[in-house]
Structure 1
Amino acid sequence: MYSGIGDHGERAAFLDARSLIGCRHRLFLDATHPGVLTGVAEDAGVQQRREAAAAHRAQVRDTLVGADPGRWVVIEGGVPAAQRAAATMRAMADGAERIWGGLLPQEADTGRRGGCEILWRDLDRGGYIPVIVVNHKVTDPRQPDPADYHPTTSDMYEWNPKPDRHVRTRPQPRDTQRLAHLYRMLQRHGYASPALVGGAIGYHFDRILVHDLGPVLDDYDIRYADRIAVVRAELPTVPSKVPECRQCPWWTRSPEEDKPSCERWLSDHRDVSLVAPGSRAEVLRRHGVETIDDLAAWSGDDPDDWQYEPFTETIVTARAWATGAPLVRRVQQVTVRRADVEVDVDLESFQEHGAYLWGTLLDGVYRPFVTWDPLPTPDEGRSFAEFWTWMMKIRADAKAEGKTFAAYCYSRTAEDKWLYESARRFAGMPGVPTEREIQKFVDGPEWVDMFQAVSEQFICPNGKGLKKIAPVAGFHWRDPEAGGEASMSWYRLAVAFDGGDPDMSQRTRILEYNEDDVLATKTLRDWMSDRADAEVPAIADFARRSIAS
């Protein structure tokens, strides 16, 4: 998003594709109060992702252009936007086969602005196909299935789209919206390929995922019309809690001296999105439910367009929030799988580069399996193999002694991902298990996800993250800044990722944070076994309770 001075001196509003996904109210505040955030430090996690994305684009550019420089026109950065746009238009007019770093002319009437990493000339139909380079996964590997749907991919060096039996797509609406945005801009100047497709090169940089843009253009047009109207202050917006709020500078900052921050506004209005964030709040508002009190007082039938958790639980969530209850018990008696030998596991990864630390807790003793070589590094395979070998030995020794074994994590998505990824990337190294061994373990009863145990047995008005739940059980982290995003910054310093000498104090900080995570998981498990029934009210209490009581 960008505001500038138009041809006649009026303030013009421009919108790029990044603003098509995300919070509408943030878009409005960014457009109407740009000076408020001047000098405000960018969120560390956002900054790291932005820097990583820039490095990834540079790697892709150097690789592709370097492989056959004669087929490329490179639009140099660091010059005024008007010059870059003019150079891009000249390159397309000259029929350049491939253009890197193209910037299309800003459209004063529609407000569109945008650029594309690659503009690839369609040699068969004419025009150009937009190809974007992104630092997230656009596909996942899979075993070939001849009967299944196959996404279309192309080689990165020759445009040859065809069904790909070896991958499945990872849906990314932000990618398709950006490609539709670029297609409309190319179309305006007569340079859009009639093929109506776009491409995305993802984190793995191994193929181009080809997107069919025909089905998304109507949705894009509606979304763009809405967003540009927000930027032009033609449509009103109010705060609403969404996942983006966690890193948004407006969450705790007021746009004007006499106006509240988003956090304060939502709290003052007891807004329903505080307990039903994102699309849930949108559904509820369509039924006249604006506040937590409205939701808590609901007495009619369930909304016919509610497609989330049972609606009764949503009402209970509102009533629990209103009374300050951090948890509500779904079950008469809380249970959690226990074993004679229990190992708690928590990993630390750095973006998509790898998992550098596998932390464990056994009998109160913390054992980290770590590499401090900057990722990516083969030494990651060594530390992973040592972790897996150690845990499997503990498991085997327990069985040999006739004891039961269980390993615990909190929200297994990350652990499962890096177990599989590590087995795949370091296959053949001593001690590294096969993917089949990983699958057999994670699909078995000895791999216990405490997040699942919490989700199944508690309603959580303030969220289900470990940082939200463990304090209810009495656990508190030593570091007040403990969190996944913060640990990314610590890691960069710990391994001198950006040069200089490694900061040993940050290594200690990471290890203490990881140790606290496994201690929190154990504390939560013990609390669920011993005290949760007595300390957490049951859902029946709130189902009978009205907000007035």
Structure 2
Amino acid sequence: MDFTLDAYAARTCAVKTQHLFTPGLTPGPVDESLQDSFHGGIDHVAHVAELLLAGHHDIVDLRETPRGEAESACADAMDAGVAVIMGGELQPDPAGHRRGRVNVLVRAENANTSGPAAYRPVLVKPRRIMERRVSGRENVWEVPYSPLHDLAHEPGRVAENRALRRHENDFIQVAHLYRLLETHGRVAPGARVAGIIGTDEVPGVEGPVVTWVDLDEPFLKTFSRSEPTGRKSRSPLERHDHEHAFRVQVAKNALGGGEPLVEPVRIRECDWCPWWRTCEPILGPNDLSARIDTAPLDVREIRTLRAMGIRTIDDLAGTDLESLLPKYLPEVTHRSQADSRLRNAARRARMLRDGIELERTTEGPIPIDRADLEIDFDLETYDDRAYLWGFLVHDRRSGERPYYKAFTSWTPMDDAAELALASEALEWLRDISTTARTRVYHYSSYETRHVGQLVGSGGTPHLDWVLPWVHEHFVDLYTSVKNNFFGCHGLGLKVVAQLGADFHWRDAEPDGLKSLQWYEEAVGAETAAERAAAQRRLLEYNEDDVRATHHLRAWLDASA
């Protein structure tokens, strides 16, 4: 059968492929390849393109070239050995059922000079590809990278104390493009490497960098029936080849009019999928994957339950788990704590069936560590950088009302700017607490973890006092909530503060994900008035977050 799949197919839901090749089905208007644009993807691609165009003279820009012309133009550029090609459409591989357009092609150094020029595929993604890791005696954490002005892959050029984030879908996508180049003899001998330009910054390097990924390194954990542990680490190329081959099978079956090989499972991707309107009626109103929205079971877990006759919340709510688990657990060994995941899902199924949103799991008073000076604390971050440190200060000795204090930066941040803002906020916090017994309340470990990453990686001797001080003074209210309540829709601050403490945010849409958009407007809107409005909205949102923990603490303290 004559068809090809693009680089998104293997990284996304196989039901999309099935619908796409089923005669008579028509998708909705949303293109799944535009999902990155919802999080600044288009702007990031444009920014990277500007930097590449400014930093290279041997470069071709094919981003605006129509698809029908982009393929031949890309082939001509590669034949000419152009060093950097942007937006190239690769020659399809009909036998392998692959096609693909790549953000950037980088000519490989030290490739064979007798054959055609070799290239490495590079994606551009609006997120960090690396994460901070502190090297120790047993582990050395480092990631190879290249600055945008010098794209050569040099294994000895590494970002220290960094590791790859597990963006499996990105790795599968870039592996697809590598396979296309490989088919046409356009890859360099030796290590099979591809790149991703994210939003990472490396000390001493201006602007974003290319993070290089070894496509043969087995670091992606998957289910394996043959392994004693039930899990096996596979490489990006292995993961791509498996997922691509399955979608080829799905497409062939759909074109041939066969019975569907896959059925819909509600996942996060459905939020922007053009086929959701086709899948939703198939699932029905009580499907497990559609109804349980907190700690949802994954695709394999749902399919395993369906194979055992459990499809709806009523089915799971009425199931004898002790009889089910011996058959279920061997099929979901890819998941740690699969037993508790299923038990929690069953509990949520019962709560959904019975109309219950929040349950107390204990009896009696809930102990809360109180103090003379109580400070509620919440961070707002963008791209894992803290741009707003918000505090609600309540001196219980004075009898005065609590007041809000914020430390903010409304310009794009680098490592130095983030650390400077953190230093200002933390030193203020220490100074204000010198005259009274103090506790700093937050909700979940995110705040303490982020502070630890900022000051725990070395190079900040003026903040050596922070981690011991945090350990002594910080109190995580989420721990108290988790130890005493179970939430049908989770135990997030927005859920518990409203259901339990009857606190309500001023913003009609108090949502952490929406705050990312507000931040983009706060720093980048066209007019000063628009920027000021977004900044005010973020400050009010953060203030309400810390006031919510204040009210929540009072409610917990009064619980009996």
Pick the TM interval, shorter chain.
0.7 to 0.9
**Residues 111 and 188 in structure 2, CA contact (< 8 A), matched pair in contact too:** no
Q: Which residue does 1:544 correspond to in 2?
A: none
Cα–Cα, structure 1 residues 112 and 101, in superposed 2: closer, same or farther, change >3 Å?
closer
Give, in angstroms, the shift of residue 379 of structure 1: 7.0
Structure 1 portions without partners, runs of 5+? 1-9, 534-549
Q: Which residue does 1:175 correspond to in 2?
A: 170
Work out which of the residue numbers 113, 118, 137 in structure 1 matches 2:105.
118
Give, in angstroms, the shift of residue 173 of structure 1: 0.7
Cα–Cα, structure 1 residues 29 and 507, in superposed 2: closer, same or farther, change >3 Å?
farther
Work out which of the residue numbers 499, 505, 510 in structure 2 matches 1:482.
510
Q: Which residue does 1:135 correspond to in 2?
A: 126
SS of alignment partner, residue 51 of structure 1: helix
Q: Which residue does 2:68 correspond to in 1?
A: 82
Q: Which residue does 1:222 correspond to in 2?
A: 242
Cα–Cα, structure 1 residues 149 and 451, in superposed 2: closer, same or farther, change >3 Å?
same
Cα–Cα, structure 1 residues 155 and 277, in superposed 2: closer, same or farther, change >3 Å?
same
Task: Give the counterpart letter for 2:516 in structure 1.
Answer: M
CA distance in 1, matches of 2:499, 2:91: 55
CA distance in 1, matches of 2:175, 2:558: 55
SS of alignment partner, residue 329 of structure 2: coil
TM-score, normalisation: structure 1: 0.77
Deviations 1:218-264 (A, max 9, x none): 3312211333555674545544232335x43669x744xxx8568xx
Give, in angstroms, the shift of residue 19 of structure 1: 3.9
Structure 2 portions without partners, runs of 5+? 203-208, 217-234, 395-400
Cα–Cα, structure 1 residues 410 and 118, in superposed 2: closer, same or farther, change >3 Å?
farther
Give, in angstroms, the shift of residue 76 of structure 1: 2.9
2:494 is the alignment partner of 1:467 = yes
Q: Which residue does 2:205 correspond to in 1?
A: none
Task: Give the counterpart letter for 1:113 in structure 2.
Answer: G
CA distance in 2, matches of 1:350, 1:267: 35
SS of alignment partner, residue 99 of structure 2: coil
SS of alignment partner, residue 480 of structure 1: coil
CA distance in 1, matches of 2:312, 2:196: 41
Q: Which residue does 1:394 correspond to in 2?
A: 432
Deviations 1:180-214 (A, max 9, x none): 10111112212123332223333225464433323
Q: What is the Cα-based RMSD across aligned positions, in Å?
A: 3.8
Give, in angstroms, the shift of residue 151 of structure 1: 5.0
2:352 is the alignment partner of 1:321 = yes
Task: Give the counterpart letter for 2:61 in structure 1.
Answer: I
**Residues 292 and 322 in structure 1, CA contact (< 8 A), matched pair in contact too:** yes
**Residues 369 and 384 in structure 1, CA contact (< 8 A), matched pair in contact too:** no
CA distance in 2, matches of 1:383, 1:151: 27
**Residues 82 and 105 in structure 1, CA contact (< 8 A), matched pair in contact too:** no
- Within 5 Å, give how 1:8-19 maps onto structure 2: 15-19=5-9
CA distance in 2, matches of 1:336, 1:58: 55
Deviations 1:405-430 (A, max 9, x none): 321222332663266448989969xx
**Residues 370 and 383 in structure 1, CA contact (< 8 A), matched pair in contact too:** yes
SS of alignment partner, residue 16 of structure 1: coil
Task: Give the counterpart letter for 2:196 in structure 1.
Answer: A
SS of alignment partner, residue 504 of structure 2: coil
CA distance in 2, matches of 1:369, 1:254: 43
SS of alignment partner, residue 306 of structure 2: helix
Cα–Cα, structure 1 residues 494 and 198, in superposed 2: closer, same or farther, change >3 Å?
closer
- Size of the aligned set, in residue pairs, is 495
TM-score, normalisation: structure 2: 0.76
CA distance in 1, matches of 2:509, 2:198: 31
**Residues 493 and 502 in structure 1, CA contact (< 8 A), matched pair in contact too:** no
Work out which of the residue numbers 196, 200, 219 in structure 1 matches 2:196.
200
**Residues 150 and 163 in structure 1, CA contact (< 8 A), matched pair in contact too:** no
- Within 5 Å, give how 1:85-96 maps onto structure 2: 85-96=71-82
Instruction: State the identity as a percent.
Output: 25
Q: Which stretch has the larger CA shift, 369-378 or 168-177?
A: 369-378
Q: Which residue does 2:10 correspond to in 1?
A: 20
Deviations 1:3-32 (A, max 9, x none): xxxxxxx9x865332343344446666887
CA distance in 1, matches of 2:285, 2:174: 37
SS of alignment partner, residue 211 of structure 1: strand
Q: Which residue does 1:211 correspond to in 2?
A: 213
**Residues 199 and 209 in structure 1, CA contact (< 8 A), matched pair in contact too:** yes
- Within 5 Å, give how 1:346-357 maps onto structure 2: 346-352=378-384, 354-357=385-388
CA distance in 1, matches of 2:20, 2:478: 36
CA distance in 1, matches of 2:245, 2:6: 12
Q: Which residue does 2:48 correspond to in 1?
A: 57
CA distance in 2, matches of 1:449, 1:289: 37
CA distance in 1, matches of 2:465, 2:124: 34
**Residues 119 and 131 in structure 1, CA contact (< 8 A), matched pair in contact too:** yes
